[in-house]
Chain A
Amino acid sequence: MPATPGRRPGLYLHVPFCSAICPYCDFAVTTGDGERRERFLSALLEEVALGVPRGWEGEFDTVYLGGGTPSVLGLDALERLFEVARRHLPMTPEARISLEANPEDATPERLAGWRGLGVTTISLGVQSFDDEALRYLGRRHTADEARCAVDAALAAGFATVSVDLIYGLPGRGVAAWRRDLEAAVELAPDHLSCYQLTVHPGTMFGRRQARGERIEIPDELQARLFRATHEVLRDEGYEGYEVSNFARAPRHRSAHNTKYWDHTPYLGLGPSAHSFDGGRRWWNERGVAPWQRLVETGVRPIAGGEELGTADLLLERLMLALRTAEGVELEEMRSRYGVDLEDRDGERLVRFEAAGLLSREGGRLKPTLEGLAVADTLARELGNLTDPSRSRGN
C-alpha cells in the first residue's frame, strides 16, 4: 500500500542507554560506560549514513529520539548525530524534533543546548511527584528535582514540554494518583503522557510478580484510575487525544506518535527500532552487540519483517484508531481498506453504541471514555475480516 499523499514520514532514533535499568522497563535498554556509548554512537551514525531504504518516499517532518535515555548522550554527540542525519536523510527544514530526557539530566545548561540544536519538544520522564513512588519505580530523581526540571524546560523555550507519569502502582489508589496529577497540572506542562504500570515478563517487576508479589492492580481499580485520569485532565483543560496522551492544545499533540496511530510511514534506526513503509514493517536487531556488528559491516541491521495484508492493516488501523479520541472515519475504512463497517458490522456497532462504548458522529466512529478503556476488545470484535460467523449473517 503506498504512503498516503500529503503525510510525511517520521524518523525514530533509538538510544538504548540508561544510567540504570528501571524495574518496569521492557524496552531495549542497557547501561554502559563512555567507551561503549562512543562505539554505539559511531554505529548509529553509520546506520544513519546508509540513508533511506530503496523506494522510500517523502521527507521526514518529525524526528523522535527515544530510548533508553537519549539525554545521556552529550551535547557534542547529539550535534554530530543531527548533522549526519540532516546530511544523509531527507528532512524538511522545519521538522519537529522530540527528545526524551530524565529530570536529573535536564539542567538549564543542557536544556539550552538541546534547544540550540533544534529540539522542539522535550519529554521528561518524571513518572511521579511522590518520592516513595519514585523509589518504588527505581527512579534516580526526587519529586523536587522533577519540579525543577519541568520549570527549567518550560523556561527554555521549547515549543512543547511534555511530562511522563505512571499510575496503577500497588497500594496507590485514586486519591494518591489525583495528587500526582494535580502536582503535574500545577506546573502547567503543554503535554502529559500517563501510562498505566504494566508488568512485562522479563523485567524486574515481571520476575517479582512471577515469584508471587502482587504488582499489577485489579482491573476494576485500573478502570477507575483510567477514568480519573481522563476526567481530572479534561477539567484542567487537557484533551485526552489518545489512551495515554493529553495535550493542552492541538498543536502540542505528539505529531510523531500520531504517525504510528494512523499508519503514516516511519523509519526507525538504532537497535530494536521498527520501520513501516505503508505496507511492510521491519525491525532492527534488538541487542546492541548484534545490531552493531551488522552496521559495522555496512549491512542494514534488520532482524525481521512482515508484509501486511489488507486484513492485517485493517485490524491495526482499527486497533490504533480506537485508541484515539478522534476514532476513525468510516469513509477512510471504505476507501483505504475496502470495508464498510456499517454494512458488515451494523449489529455489532449498535450493540457497542447501546453499551455506551462507541458513538457515530459526522461519519466518524469514536470511542467513548468507557470504549477507550476497552479499545482492544472493540478492535478485536470489529477488525475481523475473516470471521466465519459473519458470512452466516451473525
Chain B
Amino acid sequence: MALDRIRNFCIIAHIDHGKSTLADRLIQRCGGVEARDFRDQILDSMDIERERGITIKSNTVTLRYVARDGQEFLLNLIDTPGHVDFSHEVRRSLMSCEGALLLVDASQGVEAQTLANLYLALEYELEIVPVVNKIDLPSAQIEQTLEEIESDLGLDPFEAVLCSAKEGTGVEDLLEAIVTKLPPPTGDPAKPLQALIFDAEYDPYRGVVLLCRVVEGTIEPGQSVRLMHSDKEYEVEEVGLLQLKHVKRPRLEAGAVGYVIAGIKAVQDIAIGDTITGAERPAAAPLPGYREAKPVVFASIYPLSTDDYEDLTKALEKLVLNDAALTYEKDSSTALGFGFRCGFLGLLHLDVVQERLRREYDLALLLSAPSVRYKLKLEGGREMEVDNPGLYPDPTEIAQAFEPFIKASVMMPERYIGSVMEICRERRGEETTYRYLAVGRVELTSELPLGEVLFDFYDRLKTVTQGYGSFDYDMLDYRPTDLVKVDILVNGEQVDALSQLTHRDKARARALHYCERLAETIPRQQFKIAVQGAIGGKIIARSTITAFRKDVTAKCYGGDITRKRKLLEKQREGKRRMKMVGAVEIPQSAFVAVLKTEKD
C-alpha cells in the first residue's frame, strides 16, 4: 500500500483517562475483531493490566479504515504503556509513529503524566491531535478541559476531537482526524534496511517475535539481518501484520509496522530500541534514540516455603522471556534461605512482577525491602555500586556514598500545595518549586532521592491530595549522601533479610518501625526477646517481647489427652514454618508484616 495511505499513531494519556477503551472502540469500528470475540480492552492482554486498568506491555494493531472520501487506509495503532516506570517503552513506541492522539479525561483535566507524555511526543516531533474523552460523564467539564489543553499543553483547542470512548460517540470524527491531520510515514523501500524494534513478544513455539517499524528499506523472509546494537545476525523466517493475530505477508516495506520472526531464542538476546538492518547491505548508522532500560529498584525475592525455590527459578526464567527489563541473580539469606535479587524499572514494575509470580505461577513469596542502587567511593579511590545490604562494605572503607535523585513533578489543585511541599521536605527534597498552570492548578517539582520515593510516597501523595495529585518523575543524577546500613537484631543475632540501606536521618525511624512490627508479630516465647535496630554496633531502636509464663492447661484426663496431643502437633506444624534466628523462632507472618510496605 502506498505510504500516503498509512498512518502510524499512538494514544498517549494519563492512567484511567480511557486509552484502552478508546483503542477498543477504534478496533471495533474498523472491524478488527468479530463482535462476539470482543472483550473489553483487548489490547491490555495481561490479567493484571485488565484488573488495574493500566497498560504494561504495549500492544499494537493494524486497522483497515475506509475514509469518508472512499479511500482505504492502513492505521497502525501502537499502544503505549501508561505508567512512569515504563517510560522507556513509551519512548520506543513514540519513535515508531508520526502522530499521536493526546487523550484527556473531560472530568479530570490535564494531569502531570499527560504533560510528561506530550513533552516526549514533541521530542519525537509527532503531530498531536488532542482528544477530550468521557464527555458523557455528568462531571465532564468540557470547556475547562479545552482551556487546559490550550494553557497547560499549548495545543489548539479548536483541533480537539470530543468523544466518549465508552459510548462510541465521536469515534467517526476521530478516525477522520487521524487520516486528515496526521502525516503519512516517509521512507524509501529501496534504501538499506532500517527497522526499529519497539517491542517483542515471546511465543513458546516460534521464539521471540519482534515488533518493528520499518523506517527505510524492505524486510522479507530469507533475508539475513543484523541487530546493530547487539551486533548479532539472524535469518528472517516470517514477517507480517499485527491484526490482533499474526497475518503473514510477503514483505514489510518502509513505513510499515509489523512483526518479524527470525529464530531468536530469548528476549535477552535482543535489545528493544535496537535497529534491524540488512546483513549484506547495512545502513550506515542505527536509528537514533536508543536507550538501555536500566533497573533502578532492587529487592530480594524469597519463596515462603524453601521447597518452592525450584519453582521460583523456573517462573523467573519464563517471566524474563516476556519482560526484558527484569533482571535477577541468585541471593541467599540465613533467615530466609535461597532467593533472587531482582532489578525493576520502578515500584510498579516490582508490584507487577510480584503479582505475576503469585498469580501466574501460584508462588507464595517474601520480598525484602526495596532499595535503590548506591554508588560508593572507597578509601583508596576504588568505586563500587551496591543495592543489596548484604554486600555493603565495612563503613570505614567508604570515603563517600552517592544516591540517585529524581526530578519529581506533581500536578494538583493549588489547595494541596502546602501538604505536598511538606511531604517533599520530609523526604529530603531539594529545589522544591511550583508554578501555576492555570487558575487553581499548580505543578510542583522537587529533586528527591529515589530511595525516599520507594516507601509509601505515592500513597501519602494520594492521601494528602485526596486523589487529585498526579505524579511523574525522571531520573536525574547521583548526589553525595550520608548512607548507613541499619541492621535488625533479635536477641543479639542479626536478621540479614531485614537489613537495609538508608539515609542516617531516617535510620532511627525505620529501625523503630521494624522493631515494633516484629515485637507485635513474633509470638512470646519462654524467654524475653530483645528486638533491636543498630548501625554497626550502636543500638538506635529497641522493642521487647516479654516471656510468657504460663501456657499449661488446667486439666488433662482421659478424654483430654488425644485432643491435647493434636493441639501440640498442630502448634508444632505451625512452628515448622518458622525461621530460627539464634534461639528465637520467627514466624513467616512476622517477615511479611515487616516487609509489607507501609501502605497496607
Contacts and interface: CB of A to CB of B under 8 A. Distances in A.
Interface in A353-369: 355, 357
B568 A379 contact: yes
Contacts of A198: 553-555
B338 to A, nearest CB: 15
B576 interface: yes
A355 B565 CA distance: 24
A373 B565 contact: no
Interface centre among B548, B550, B551, B553 (most CB of A within 10 A): B550
Interface stretch (B145-153, B168-176, B488-496, B556-564): B556-564
Given A316-B561, A383-B568, A394-B580, A373 B549 contact: yes
Contacts of B526: 352, 355, 357, 374, 377
Contacts of B551: 219, 373-377
B550 A222 contact: yes
Interface of A: 12, 195-198, 219-220, 222-223, 226, 243-244, 257, 260-261, 266, 268, 272-276, 281, 283, 306, 312, 315-316, 319-320, 323, 351-352, 355, 357, 370, 372-377, 379-380, 383-384, 387-389, 394
A268 B557 CA distance: 11
Sorted from nearest, which 10 A-B pairs have the closest CB atoms?
A223-B549, A274-B558, A223-B550, A195-B554, A375-B552, A373-B550, A196-B554, A274-B559, A222-B550, A376-B551
B583 A351 contact: yes
B552 A243 contact: yes
Interface of B: 526-527, 548-559, 561-562, 564-565, 568-569, 571-572, 575-576, 580, 583
A273 B565 CA distance: 17
A355 B527 contact: yes
Given A222-B550, A375-B552, A377-B551, A281 B561 contact: yes
A374 B552 contact: yes
A320 B561 contact: yes
A268 B561 contact: no
A306 B562 contact: yes
B561 A244 contact: no
Contacts of B555: 195, 198, 244
Nearest to A254: B557
B503 to A, nearest CB: 38
Nearest to B575: A380
Contacts of B561: 260, 274, 276, 281, 316, 320
A150 B555 CA distance: 23
Specify which of B557, B561, B572 lies most central, judged by the most chain A CB atoms within 10 Å of its CB. B557
A219 B568 contact: no
Contacts of B552: 243, 323, 372-376
Name which of A197, A244, A357, A376 has the most chain B CB atoms within 10 A of its CB.
Answer: A376
A223 B571 CA distance: 21
Contact of B557 (A257, A370, A377, A384): A257
Given A374-B550, A376-B552, A389-B580, A260 B565 contact: no
A323 B568 contact: no
Contacts of A243: 552, 554, 556
Which of B553, B559, B569 has the most chain A CB within a 10 Å cutoff? B559
A142 B152 CA distance: 86
Nearest to B525: A377
Contacts of B562: 274, 281, 283, 306
Nearest to B555: A195
Contact of B568 (A260, A275, A315, A357): A315
A219 B554 contact: no
Contacts of A273: 558-559
Contacts of A375: 551-552
Contact of B548 (A276, A281, A283, A374): A374
Contacts of B527: 355
Nearest to B557: A260
A377 B571 CA distance: 10
Nearest to A323: B556
Contact of B558 (A268, A370, A387): A268
A226 B553 CA distance: 11
A45 to B, nearest CB: 21
6 contacts: A198-B555, A244-B555, A274-B562, A283-B562, A373-B549, A383-B568
Contacts of A219: 548-551
Contact of A380 (B557, B568, B580, B583): B568
A220 to B, nearest CB: 7
Given A355-B526, A377-B526, 9 more contacts: A219-B548, A223-B549, A260-B558, A268-B559, A275-B558, A319-B564, A319-B568, A352-B526, A380-B568
Contacts of B554: 195-198, 243-244
Contacts of A197: 554
Nearest to B548: A219
Contacts of A272: 559
Contacts of B568: 315, 319, 376, 379-380, 383
A312 B565 CA distance: 8
Contacts of B569: 315
B337 to A, nearest CB: 13
B504 to A, nearest CB: 37
Contacts of B548: 219, 374
Nearest to A194: B554
B558 A276 contact: yes
A100 B209 CA distance: 83
Contacts of A275: 558
B581 to A, nearest CB: 12
A148 to B, nearest CB: 27
Contacts of B575: 380
B550 A266 contact: no
Contacts of A372: 552
B557 A226 contact: no
Contacts of A306: 562
A310 B262 CA distance: 64
A341 B557 CA distance: 25
A73 B298 CA distance: 75
A50 to B, nearest CB: 18
A353 to B, nearest CB: 12
Contact of A260 (B553, B556, B571): B556
A208 B556 CA distance: 24
A258 to B, nearest CB: 11
Contacts of A220: 549
A195 B551 CA distance: 13
B146 to A, nearest CB: 58
A256 to B, nearest CB: 9
Contact of B572 (A195, A244, A384): A384
A166 B553 CA distance: 13
A372 B79 CA distance: 69
A223 B561 CA distance: 23
Contacts of A377: 526, 551
Contacts of A274: 558-559, 561-562
A260 B550 CA distance: 22
Contacts of B556: 243, 260-261, 319-320, 323
A12 B557 CA distance: 11
A380 B572 contact: yes
A283 B549 contact: no
Nearest to B571: A380
A376 B557 CA distance: 15
Contacts of B572: 380, 384, 387
B565 A374 contact: no
A122 B558 CA distance: 19
A370 B550 CA distance: 8
A275 to B, nearest CB: 8
A387 B571 CA distance: 12
A154 B331 CA distance: 73
Nearest to A263: B561
A247 to B, nearest CB: 16
Given A281-B562, A320-B561, A376 B553 contact: yes
Most buried by A among B526, B553, B564, B572: B526
B117 to A, nearest CB: 54
